[in-house]
Amino acid sequence: MDSDSEVERILQERPPSSYGSMRSDDEEEEEDITPAQNLPAKLEPRSFDATGIRLHRDASPETVFTDNTRLPHPRQPAEGAFIEQRPVEEEDEEEEVEDQNDGARVNSPVPPPPIEPEDTWMDVDDQQQPGRLHPEVDLPFIFKSMQSALTLLEPPEIHLFKSYLCGRHNSTFNMADLAESDTLDLVDKMLERFGKLYGLQVAIRMLEAMNKPQQAKELQTKCKRAVIQYELKCGLIRRHNCIYEGVPRAGQQLYLKYVYVQPRISTQGYGGVCPHHPVRPHPPDPPKVAPPDSMVEGNNIFRLHSADGNPVRCVLTTGVPGIGNSVAVQKFMLDWAEERANFDLQFVFPFPFRELQSLRERNIKEKTDISMLEMLQTYHSETRSMDFLEEANCKVLFIMDGIDIYKGNLDFTNTPVVTDITTPLPLDSLLVNLIRGSLLPHALLWLTGRRAATTQIPPEYIDSIYEIQGYSDEQKDEYLTIRYSDKSLAEKIIRHTKNSPTIYNLCHIPFCCWMVAMVYERGFRHDDDYGRHPPKITSFFIHYMIIQNNRKLEKYYGQNPNTQKWTEMDRKFMLALGRLALKLLEKNCANFYEDDLVDFTFPVIEVASWSGLCTELPRPNPKDRRVFCFTHLSILEFMAAHYVWLSFRLDGQNVLDQSKSITKLFKEHSLVEIYRKAVDRYLNSPLGQYDLFLRFLCGLSMKQNDSLLRGLLFPHNAPSLKGLDEVARLLTKRKENALPEKEANLNECLRELEESED
């Protein structure tokens, strides 16, 4: 959404409701009216709309505001939020007689005394209901402020206000509807139909259009928090209502609400690596899995308490590459902006580390520092009049996404303590003081990033760590279903994906789900015979490797996606990572350590975080050595096969031949020799560790897959591979004497070599 009008349309889409106007401050209450007569005949259970406000209208234009106007969380209505009233026909006969003898008949029980607002502005109960709204952004304050501003208008000016209102919002109001409305009823109807924030904004605009700048300015100043909140929410909706899945392409954005499936988020982190493998029931170093009772809703991450029982201030979410950290952040902000969750948060400010890294580079180049207040006003201009940021009752959340992109040195030991938000600082020092709570100690902070990058933050500054676990099998199907309006196409894609357990397992990563949707949708739309055979796995993993490296070049090296070019360093990196994978495969290990990277000429952070193919596992004891692994065991097996194939493609080497003789070193190897060694390893291994390795090695030699890497890892004009027919004959011959389970996998290897099937 790119226009204010479209944002306003979203904010004002609300179901019809009924609401009585509030009693003004200067009205005197009539003494002869009983409390029961001040209530409507029946309080209907309220439906929840986009603003979280449901209004009730009485026959009279005057009603009394009660605490019932306050709204509980839409998903879990709080107990006692409504005054229950019984119909007259269900009342006991004895109560009717007593009421008649008293000369009065009461249709409802006497209401309880008014509930005074508590002093605590962040009140969270056991059912994770939202805390109390700040009075200046709550309905009563906005109502009375608008009422006071319009009361100063003369009758002709009120008529002009109504005319302007009907002229600019003719789909919502007409003069016949407003002709008999007094000031109080007019405010009532505006809040009912527009919602409190947009209704306030409309009132200010109408006063400015009537050349009443003083009244407009006074109303804007009095409701400053609400005005800033409205502008901030409009901006968040414009920026985050749409999403670019996977690799951004112009014109291919989708509405987030149409494709978002919330991944599982756990309070217990074990690394987030899926332990399931289609071939090996007992893989090496099996990762732990978070239990189901540790899962939490994304909108509730600030509702839980830390281990010491105190409310959380700083939250960290991690996960393997492609698990959906940034999208979860985007959905959280959109839900807040569209008033579906976290009503008690007054302001939510995103500060992506991608933008902070750009700011840091600019400040270093210009040799300038920046204060916390200047940084806030730079990225969120609506905060220029925000003079209450340091007040303890200003509940604000800063979301800092993608700490792995930031290349600064966050030195929590030597950075001096600064508490003034107007003090200019180097950006590294500013972020350190913000994270440890020296700056704005009452503000909430949400950090996201890959685990290898988040280890630089001392644990004493993190109140809670959440780990995104990705999709369950049901959520994979849900994502592929809601993505398409054509449900038959969705069913075909789901069925085709499930035909390959290797790919279906990997789809617990939402990024891989997107890849499945993109690749298989194209196949089914352009080929009537597509999907007759189970999908081949090699091309999927090649695409996965290419896209992850392209994302690395874009995110961490600043390359333009439209002009990306792989360099010699990318080729060396892929060879080194593949060599490590083959080494682990030969040892039947899944995990590796920093000691295993001594031969790498690349920093650990590039392997463990930037590559998108590896991740760091949590350490029970911070003094233990760091542990890493590939994001899935099948990724390790693919990279090992890719290293064997690429070494032959580039240099004619057979890295599977472990002979050290001089004659072997200088001998020109043929393609079939590589496969002969690979098949020998496969047939002699009882653990199943070479099953997928051999399938990937066969698929890489296929002409279509070989062409995917031309121009990336070897020249476009490189000669085609020769000897594939001989490889096929070798596999056919060796499967004749193989065990049944080995024979089945050899058949899959032969199918990977074929060019015609899916």
SS3 track for 681-729: HHHHCCCCCCHHHHHHHHHHCCHHHHHHCECCCECCCCCCCCCHHHHHH
Q: Kindly give the parts of the chain with pLDDT less than 50.
A: 1-3, 14-129, 661-667
Residue 387, both tokens:
């003079």
> How far is CA 115 from its chain centroid?
37
Gyration radius from the chain CA atoms: 32
Instruction: Spell out a b/e string for 210-229, using b for 16 or more CB atoms within 10 Å of the CB, else e.
Output: bebeebbebbbebbbbbbbb
Torsion angle in degrees (nearest 10) through CA of 573, 578, 580, 583: -160
- Contact of 609 with 453, CB cutoff 8 Å: yes
**Strands, E, within 127-211: which ranges?**
none
The answer to whether the 4-236 and 263-470 domains have the same CATH topology is no
CA distances from 326 to 170, 329, 331 (A): 40, 5, 9
pLDDT in tens, 488-502: 999 999 999 999 999
pLDDT at 306: 73
**Strands, E, within 142-272: which ranges?**
242-243, 254-255, 264-266
pLDDT at 82: 33
Q: What CATH architecture is 4-236?
A: Orthogonal Bundle (1.10)
CA 408, 410, 416: angle at the middle one, nearest 5?
125
pLDDT at 5: 57
3-class DSSP assignment, residue 47: coil
**What's the rounded Cα separation, in Å, for the pair 713 and 708?**
10
pLDDT at 633: 95
Q: Which amino acid is at 352?
A: P
* In the chain, domain spans: 4-236, 263-470, 543-753
pLDDT at 149: 93
- Write the CATH number of the domain with boundaries 263-470: 3.40.50
pTM above 0.85?
no
Instruction: Return phi, psi of residue 250, to 5°.
Output: -60, 130
Contacts of 582 (CB under 8 A, 6+ apart): 640, 643, 644, 655
pLDDT at 12: 53
pLDDT at 564: 85
Quickly count helices (H) and strands (E) in the chain. Answer: 29, 11
pLDDT at 467: 95
pLDDT at 19: 38
pLDDT at 103: 38
pLDDT at 317: 95
- 271 sits in the region (left: phi over 0; alpha: psi -120 to 50; else beta) called left
**What's the rounded Cα separation, in Å, for the pair 84 and 99?**
19
- Contact of 100 with 91, CB cutoff 8 Å: no
Q: Which amino acid is at 408?
A: G
CA 681, 589, 741: angle at the middle one, nearest 5?
40
Place of tokens 């194209």: 522
Instruction: Spell out a b/e string for 551-576, using b for 16 or more CB atoms within 10 Å of the CB, else e.
Output: bbbbbbeebeeeeeebeeebeebbbb
Report which of 639, 737, 738 is spatially closest to residue 692, judged by C-alpha positions. Answer: 639
